[in-house]
Chains A and B, each alone.
Chain A
Amino acid sequence: MYQSRLTRRSITKALFATPMILSSRIALAADPVKVGLIFTTSGPFASSGDLMAKAAALFMKHKAPALLSGQKIEIIQRDDGGPNPEVAKRLVQELIVRDRVQFIGGIQWTPNAFAIGPLLTQSKTPCVLMNAGTSSIVRSSPFFARTSHTIWQSCYPLGQWAARNKIGKAYTLVTDFAGGHDAETGFTKGFTEAGGSVVAAVRMPIQNPNFAPLLQRVRDTKPDALFVFHPGGTQTAAFIKTYAEIGLANDGIRLIGPGDLTSDEELPSVGPIAKGIITAHHYSVAGDRPANKEFLALWHQEYGASLRPNYMSVGVWDGMRVIATTIAANKGNGDPDAAMETIKKYRDDNSPRGPISIDPQTRDIVQNEYIREVRIVNGEPYNVELETIPAVKDPWKSFNPA
């Protein structure tokens, strides 16, 4: 279809003028709409990408057909191998130019998201962010929308909660990249506004094999609580084990952070020592909602009882739903502006994480935040939801109006 249009004239024209690819992207309803998904399925962070890819496949199999009523979607999945913006940029460029996708989705990493922003604007390709959580990303292109979360969304309310719950002095320890910086500033603002004080703010390298000296320092500083953000995955278990081993819990230093700290899939391998960690986040497998029960039933039926999904899986699950709904609403006509309008009106009261919607002004997600505590349920650790903070918009954007 596309190939036949590449006449000699169009090639010559393409070589000497900036071509309009918009026209080449308009497809008939019978043609599959191509959706490019970028996950991290190789390298040291492959484990979380795998959970994201599984969620996309699960949605396509069980939920998409009913939503799409005959319209076909072709998924083209690509691997960026981790926080590799140059790779992500090339993949997106190829997806747009070579594969002519109508939507981009996925994107686990903030730097990768920033790298592709200009491409999306230039080519007018809507992109649904299904994990990357730095607040300012959606401002870098009008074609970004987000179904995951922002880091401020969980860290700022957590700061307020901490100050209200007998934590006066906090020590912050975050991974040194944009996400970590957001976590540090978001928590600090919420915490200090509510009367708490931060005694030390340390940024650690993204790949750190040795948490022991960092945590020893925390113990010697004797704060009331340690606020931690790291990008989850393999670091989760190592971190919590070291926390227990250095004896911070014995000294009464509480461990708090956004949900990345106690990511659901890693909790079983951490074991009972994770008990008592307080986190704020938008999704837990322990969430007591019918939509979540259904989601988990499908997941375990497909991938076995021992593998848990996590918040990233849910970000993808809802993100795929946004894309499928948009395609159905516009009958796959490929008009990016119409697609963005549809996305801005999206709302779903029955997500596994509770009611969610897209804020039409910011194109960012509005969702409940839950304060959770790790508790042992039926012999396994879970993030049990204690409090609900309803319909949280990204706080960063209200403090930093565009």
Chain B
Amino acid sequence: MQLTVNIGFQALAYASVLYLMAVGLSVTLGLMGFINLAHSVFAMTGGYLAAIACGNYGFPWYAALVAAPVFVGLIAAGIERALYARLYGRDELDQVLFCIGFIFITGALARMAFGPLQRPIALPNELATTISAASFTFSTYKIFVIAIGALTALVVLFSLERTRFGSMVRAAVENRGMAESVGLRTTLIFTCTFAIGGALAAIGGIIGADLFPINPSYAFDTLVYVQIVVAVAGLGTLRGSFISALMIGLIQTVSGYFFPEYGTILLFLAIFLFLFLRPQGLFGRPGVN
């Protein structure tokens, strides 16, 4: 019992971070067919901004958690218009290379500006504590992380289902040609969703800094985890990411607990077999590729 709760709790915290870091990706992929291996760059940027703001300028952590993602969202919008937009519709080789180049550049810039050491983001005191209930001990911080993850998932789902913007995004993801023919401005929709995706990744970068430490090779270190969340969720779906992040979080945590020596093998073996048996992912439609 205690074990289940502890493992579930850790898995949920891990999944929340992964979900935030990856949710924007499914949009990039679904909407424009762009294979964005460099999505973690936005999480890294968010992490660095928060670390510098809090560490060097005494910014309150909560303020950074709000301000940094907004800032990253704006940067993401600019980069999407200036760079990404040039490669829509290109073959996957060009897109993959573009992303690798982008990761190299941002990694080098981060190293030049902030040095090679990892940048800690100091937590507010009230979060750096533990809460005990009965025989359980939970980290307050992780509870906060899970809350943010769950909240974001709810907000994303709600706005997709219930808002005008959300229905436009859904229409554009599911059938871009049709959406354009009824007059939706897909370019604008895409820039907006790209920016939102970047901002969410930035939140993930900040609150996940203990799981994925902020350092210049961040985007490479996290690349595969973020990509497989989307691959497992499936293309053309915006709802599967949370469940897929949760599955990966569970595999990571359970194998880390019971088979610490073989955790990574099990994770990638599971992903490989899953994708082979179900190439469209959990919620993707067959044939969307």
Binding site for B on A (CB under 8 A): 41, 43-44, 46-47, 49-50, 176, 202-205, 207-210, 212-214, 216-217, 220, 233-234, 237-238, 241-242, 244-247, 250, 265, 269-271, 273
Question: Min CB distance, A154 to chain B, in Å?
Answer: 23
Q: Verify A44–B211 contact, CB threshold 8 A.
A: no
- Select one of A46, A47, A49, A214 contacting B257, CB under 8 A: A214
- Which of chain B's residues 107-165 have a Cβ closer than 8 Å to chain A? 111, 115-120, 122, 128, 130, 137, 139, 141-142
B213 x A265 contact (CB < 8 A): no
Contact A213 B130 (CB under 8 A): no
The 8 Å CB contact of A47, one of B117, B141, B258, is B117
* Contact yes or no, B260 A265, CB < 8 A: no
Measured between alpha carbons, how far is A208 from B14 in the docked complex, in Å? 13
Are B116 and A47 touching (Cβ within 8 A)? Answer: yes
Which residues in B have their C-beta under 8 angstroms from that of A250?
Answer: 130, 137
Given A212-B10, A213-B253, verify A205-B264 contact (CB < 8 Å): yes
Cα distance A270–B225 when bound, in Å?
A: 25
Residues of B with C-beta under 8 A to A216: 6-7, 10, 257
Contact A234-B213, Cβ < 8 Å, known A46-B116, A213-B253, A269-B120 = yes
- Whether A245 lies near B264 (C-beta < 8 A) is no
A203 to B211, CA, bound (A): 19
Contact A202/B141 with A216-B6, A216-B10, A238-B213 known, Cβ cut-off 8 Å:
no
Min Cβ gap A180→B in Å is 12
Quote the shortest CB–CB distance from A17 to chain B (angstroms). Answer: 44
Contact for A210 among B14, B111, B118, B119, CB less than 8 A: B14
Q: Which residue of B lies closest to A273 (CB)?
A: B128
Contact among A41, A209, A212 with B212 in the assembled complex (CB-CB below 8 Å):
A209
Contacts of B256 in A (CB 8 A): 210, 212-214
**Which residues of B are found within 8 Å of A203, using beta-carbon distances?**
260-261
Task: Give 9 A-B contacts (CB < 8 Å), ordered by A residue.
Answer: A44-B217, A46-B116, A47-B115, A50-B115, A50-B117, A203-B260, A216-B7, A269-B118, A271-B120
Closest residue to A213 on the B side, CB-wise?
B256
| A176-B261, A210-B256, A213-B253 given; A245·B213 CB < 8 A | no
A44-B221, A176-B261 known; A242 vs B210 contact (CB < 8 Å): yes
Known: A245-B130, A269-B120. A210 touches B3 (CB 8 A): no
Q: How far is the CA of A295 from the CA of B170 in the complex (A)?
A: 63
Instruction: Say whether, besides A202-B261, A234-B213, A238-B210, A47 and B10 are in contact (CB < 8 Å).
Output: no
Do residues A234 and B253 form an inter-chain contact, with CB atoms below 8 A? no
- A224–chain B nearest beta-carbon distance, Å: 19
Question: Which residues from A are CB-within-8-Å of B260?
Answer: 202-204, 213-214, 217
Q: Can you list the 4 inter-chain pairs with the closest CB atoms, starting with the nearest?
A: A213-B256, A46-B116, A269-B120, A213-B257
> Beyond A213-B256, A234-B118, A247-B137, is A43–B261 a contact (Cβ under 8 Å)?
no
Is the CB of B254 closer than 8 A to any CB of chain A? Answer: yes
Q: Chain A contacts of B254 at CB under 8 A?
A: 213
Chain A nearest CB, measured from B167 CB (Å)? 37
- Say whether B215 faces chain A, with CB atoms less than 8 Å apart: yes
B216 proximal to A (CB < 8 A)? yes
Judged by a CB distance under 8 angstroms, whether B252 is at the interface is yes
Which residues of the other chain, A, contact B10 by a CB distance below 8 angstroms? 212-213, 216
Q: Does B263 contact A (CB under 8 A)?
A: yes
Residues of B within 8 A of A207 (CB): 221
Query: Roughly how many angstroms separate A234 CA and B253 CA in the complex, as a whole number?
Result: 21
User: Which residues on the B side are within 8 Å of A247 (C-beta)?
Assistant: 130, 137, 139
Q: List 16 extra interface pairs beyond A209-B212, A212-B14, A245-B130, CB under 8 A.
A: A50-B116, A202-B261, A207-B221, A208-B263, A208-B264, A213-B7, A213-B260, A213-B263, A220-B3, A237-B120, A237-B213, A238-B210, A238-B213, A241-B210, A245-B210, A270-B120
CA–CA, A238 to B130, complex, Å? 17
Instruction: State the CA gap A206–B210 with chains docked (Å).
Output: 17
Contact A209 B142 (CB under 8 A): no
Question: Within 8 Å CB of A212, what residues of B?
Answer: 10, 13-14, 253, 256
Q: How far is the CB of B211 from chain A (nearest CB, A)?
A: 6
Chain B, Cβ-Cβ closest to A176: B261
Q: In whole Å, how far is B279's beta carbon from the nearest beta carbon of chain A?
A: 26
Contact code string B256-280 (vs A, CB < 8 Å = 1, else 0): 1110110110000000000000000
Cα A242 to Cα B3 with chains together (Å): 17
In the complex, the answer to whether B257 meets A217 with C-beta atoms within 8 Å is: yes
Contacts of A238 in B (CB 8 A): 210-211, 213
Within the assembled complex, what's the spacing in Å between the Cα atoms of A44 and B3? 33
Contacting pair A43 B118 (CB below 8 A): no
Inter-chain CA distance A379–B282, complex, in Å, is 51
Q: Select from chain A the residue with minimum beta-carbon distance to B122.
A: A271
The distance in angstroms between the C-alpha atoms of A202 and B263, with both chains bound, is 12
Residues of chain B lying within 8 A (CB to CB) of residue A44: 215, 217, 221
A217→B119 CA distance, assembly (Å):
28
